[in-house]
Structure formats: structure tokens, C-alpha cells
Structure 1
């Protein structure tokens, strides 16, 4: 009996040690994430999640903020960051589109872990005389240097009102933060972004005030124009926005921001541990900002999203009963599209080496459209 007790104790102790080892290895001791600028919704949400990871698991997270999509992506692609809290630059990079339609970039494989639903519209200073998108004609619109995520959404939203960039005065700012605060400084009249950034709350409290130009769901002509420019958004009713009174609704477009993104090389076990931690710490960070309740995996762990979900994330979502066969079909189709563009890139690049950067980008965007049109 004594021998059996000792043996049982030894086995139990070994199992406890093994269990502790597995638990300790679920998340690394340290991680590096990239995000939008300090003051942005993305930075605030990444910070809240990082704080929750630290409290629950002891993981130390260093966040590298950047005002440009390229600045958020380079550390991830170079292996200096584990995850990136991105906006639509995730989609653009996977397609080699816009700022990434250059010989140095082109389409790259990325994978999503989760992405919070977010709203966007043309957000104007209250005294700018912009009631509808069409009223932005001749007005100063803030763009961000090197940030197609903001700029192309703004171009698409202007198209909702029948406008092009030639119809407005584009004012480009060096960082996201400076662009978003430019209306308060009366250096611009409007911009396009998620409606919960800290700079917009400042605008709402300023003498200029704030106004959300509506993107009505029943405006078929407006949506046709918008989707021709950027086919990844749809109508959305937003009830959380700077300056919006309780009970009010702002008619916006829906997309995903931030999208927690990683590389295809990231191990499935690592990503599984990350999304599990994201799920298990939800109660610790859900009140971090007004919109963080949308990080529940029933909302943030579902297609459509900018890039395919990582296999590690899918494994966890399936275990939770969130992921469906329809989600699998979406993920497969999105992966096929990305792979087709990545595979076409090398031959296209070698065949067009002599072109100027502008002609190269134009030729690739045309080739990209052909490839996408040929997919099932």
C-alpha cells in the first residue's frame, strides 16, 4: 500500500508538472504587437487586451504604434512582431493593391486571428457645412501619408456621394493621429475613420462639434458607387460614436477594425493559445473602450474579414461551436483568391521590370482584376 501510494504520488506529481508545463507554454512570456498610433481606437484596444494578458497570464506585451500601414506590417513580416492590429491594409497587402502594388511589395500571405466589427463614414466638423457626403465637394479632406486603409475607404465613401478625389481638397498629414486631430485644429473639414478614436471625442467637445454624414442602406446608387471602389463593406447602424447621444443611430459602413493578424508561418499551436487567451480574458478587457464588447468571438471570430483565418484560430473556434461549414467554405474561397494572386506575382514582376513605378502599379492592378474575375 505504501509503495502504491508513493507510485501514485509520483505519477500525480509528474502529471501536475506536465500540466503546469503546458499551461506555462500556452502564451510566451513576452510578445510584440504593432498597432495604429497612440490615441487611435486600435492602440487603445490592443493596450486593453495586452493588460488583460499580463494580469491573467503574466505575459508582457510591447506595442509598437505606427501611423502607416507599412509601418505596422514591416515588423510582422520581418519577424520582429508576433501580431499586428491592422485595418484594411491587411486586405490590400494580400492583394498587392494600392500602396502595395510595387515591385518591393506585391501580394503576401497573411492570416487573421479575429477582427472586431467597426463602422466608418465621412466624419466632419460640425461647422463645416457637410450634412451629406455630396456636401463635401470643395471641402478639405484629411488623408494619411502611406495609409491606404484610411485613404481608400475615404475615396469609396466620397463615391457614395458621387464625388471623386478631384472634387475635394485632399490634405495629407504625416501620421494617423495628426490627420484625425486636424479638424479640431481647423486644418481640415472632414476625414474617414472609425468613430471612437480619442481625437474625435476631442472634436465633439470642441467649438467646431462633430457630424456623421449618413450612408443610408437604401441608397442603392450610393452603395453601387462605394463598392466599385472598395468591395469589402456593407451598411451598418452604429450606436457608439464620439458625440453621439444615447439612443441615437449613425448610418455608416461596416468593416473590421482592428484585425488581429499574423503570418502564415505562425504555428497553429501559438495562434490557438492566443485566441484562447483572447477569449478567456474577455471579461477583463471588454470595458476597456465603448466598443470592446464586440470582441466576443461570436462577432470577431466570423467571416467576412480581410484575410483568411489562421488554422490555429479555426481550430479553437470549431471547439467553441462558433465556426460553421459556411465559414469553412468562405475561408477556402478567400485562401484560393489570395494564393492565385501570390502565385501570379513572380511572373508578372519579371515580365514588367522595365516599367515605371506608376505604370507597373497600373499594369498589376489590371492583372489583379483579371485574376479575380477568373475565380469561381
Structure 2
């Protein structure tokens, strides 16, 4: 509660005092009682009081917003569109979505202040670490914040006849990777680590496109790959003579999870009940990562982010049936770590208010902030000291330095 009335409340109280012949404003408590019992202005005062005394609420959404997302036709674009439509219906907010097929194309408008939020994939993690496309002198690690992120399942998915019952059984097998797609490939590297394997322990077969990699098992050009369990090509595999099998990532395998998270610390155990070839009532033990991740900058005001995530929560019933997976936007799932980035303080405020955020989540967030801050701090001096290197040598030198920093934080 504010220590004094905001200007619009004081003006209304003053007008009421003048009408009743009062000489001055009464103390706050007495003034509230007098005005609220004055039938001629009570309703109006109550409305102003409600708006003035509450923290940022969903009704405080701006009239217009700009979001970025994956291309039209992607799950990210479909989900962003469904949420934008719900915001428009409930609050009258107009959202313009800028689609882009590249992580850089989704990030630049956000970092340049031309977009309010970005619905990102794993490039959210990559840019915070300065890796892959962002291990260049033009990029490097950037500070960003997560608002929420819908869980998506992933594991090592094998042809049923490949003899892969556990991740460790993938040793020596043909694993399908996608050219130029670190978002998919690094997850597979992490999942292989769960079984004690590195890329040197398997035969990596690189395919030119995501679709060709996912369909390669059906053509018997690979034995396994890592992807989400609802990819269309997997339904074809499940109906093929080879069949389909999900190598389990058991949640109680602490050693396996420690190895996985050392490669990619943004995943957590998950049980999936919607997957190609999975019988009704069955579940598969997988890892959950977040896609899309609603991302913003750390200088976005806490009140604005509070209002956004409150609106995301309050409009859930309007968009939850927009796609088969949108029910996972419920904040008890989408508002908890692990996720690609530290959560924004405005999101944490709301998540704590509704009883979702825990002390354990606070500890995770602090550790994630420490890691990001260490990399951002190291970047400045590293960049200045290596400006004479070629792009390739610069990236290699930065990755070595980045690995040193990450190892020092363990």
C-alpha cells in the first residue's frame, strides 16, 4: 500500500471534500472511510483505489507489443499466436509477431529494443554462453532473462531392431545428427553422456536437413537419433518393420543425470505420455527442455514482466487447447527451473505469489546467474586480447576460455 495517495486518488478525494465543504484532506484511513461511504463517489473511488493500490497486474499490459518467434508453421509460432490471441481477447492488447528461421533473427530485435519478448529455442542458452553461432567477436555471451518456458520431452529414440535398450547400448551405433543444427545436436551429445558415451563412441551420421535425419531410421540409414517424440517422421518409423523404442532416462540415475547436465545444464527428468508408437496409458522416461522459452532483457521492468506472466496465467483457459502441447504452459510446469536462462525478477515475484516458486528454485536461479555473470565479465577482456585472431581461431580460443570458467564454477 502506498504511503500517500496517488495523484488521481487525491484529486477525487479533494473534489469530494470541496463538495461537502471540507477544508482539507483527512488522514488516509478516515478519508477512505468517508469517501467509500459517500454514495455519490464511492464506486468511482473504489475503482481508482483498486488500480492505484495493486501491484502491476495483467490489466497493465501495454496496448501493443512485439514478439519474435520461429517461422510461420512452427510450434513456436503457433503457440505464440494462440497466446497473443488470448491477450487480445482478454485485455485488448495487440501483438505483432515477427517470425524468423534463425536464432540470430529472433534475438536481434529483442536486444535492439525493437521487440518486447522473444519465443526462443535453445539459442536462448547458446547466446547466454557465447557458443556456436554466438562464439564470435560480434556476439559473445549476453545477459537475458526467462519469463516462462513450456516443457518438451526428448530422449534417444531408436529403431526397434537396433538393439538399443539403454543409452549405453548406443556404443558403435549410427546416430543421426543434423547439419548446422547445434540445438538438436548438443542435446544428443548430452543424452549420450547420460549413458557414459561421447561422440567418439558412436558413428555420427550427419544429414543435410532435420527431416532427412528424422526419417533416416525408417530408411535404415541410421539406428537412433535425439528429438521430440511427436515428430511426424517418428510415426512412420513406429509403423515401419523396424519399429520404435525410447531409451529411458531414469530420473533416479543420479550419475547419468550429472553427466548429462555437465554437457547441457538446462534439462530435467520428464515422463512423456504423448509419443509416436506409445500405447495409451504408457509413459516414457525422457528429459525435458523448454521450447518455446519466453525471453526478455534484464532491464525490462519488473512490473512489466509481472503483468505479462500474470496475463499468461489468467488467460490459460483461452489458449490451452490451441495445440496438443499447450496445456504444458500451466505455470506449475512452465514457471520452474531447469530452463535456459535465469528467471526475471518480475516473473519470480508472481510465481512466488501463486505458490509455485520455491527456495530450491531460488538456489538454482542464483547459480545460473553466477554462471552467466562470470561469462559476461570474462568476455570483455577476452575479446580485447584476441582481436587479431581469425574468426575460427577466435571461436576456438573463446570456447577454451569459456570451458575453464564453467569448470571453475562446479
TM-score interval (norm. to shorter): 0.7 to 0.9
2:265 is the counterpart of 1:231: yes
- For 2:334, the equivalent position in structure 1 comes to 300
- For 1:335, the equivalent position in structure 2 comes to 369
Name the TM-score, length of structure 1 as normaliser. 0.82
Kindly report the root-mean-square deviation, in angstroms, between the aligned alpha carbons of the 2 structures. 3.6
1:82 pairs with 116, 119, 124, which one?
Answer: 116
Give 1:1-376 correspondences, 5 Å limit: 9=40, 12-13=43-44, 16=47, 26-124=60-158, 133=167, 134-135=169-170, 137=172, 139=174, 141-143=176-178, 145=180, 147-161=181-195, 163-165=197-199, 167-173=202-208, 190-197=224-231, 200=234, 210-217=244-251, 222-223=256-257, 225-375=259-409
**1:260 is paired with a residue of what secondary structure?**
strand
Cα distance between partner residues in 1 of 2:237 and 2:44:
59
Q: C-alpha displacement at 1:363, in angstroms?
A: 2.2
Larger Rg: 2
Q: C-alpha displacement at 1:93, in angstroms?
A: 1.3
Cα distance between partner residues in 2 of 1:262 and 1:177:
30
**1:369 is paired with a residue of what secondary structure?**
helix
Q: C-alpha displacement at 1:292, in angstroms?
A: 2.4
Preserved contact between residue 126 and residue 134 of structure 2 (Cα < 8 Å): yes
Cα distance between partner residues in 2 of 1:36 and 1:186:
30
**2:152 is paired with a residue of what secondary structure?**
strand
Cα distance between partner residues in 1 of 2:192 and 2:251:
15
Deviation per residue, 1:176-215 (Å, 9 max, x gap): 6776577779887654233345665576578876543333
- Gaps in structure 1 of 5+ consecutive residues: none
Cα distance 1:301–1:283, how it changes in 2: closer, same or farther (>3 A)?
Answer: same
Q: C-alpha displacement at 1:121, in angstroms?
A: 1.0
Q: C-alpha displacement at 1:283, in angstroms?
A: 1.1
Preserved contact between residue 268 and residue 287 of structure 2 (Cα < 8 Å): yes
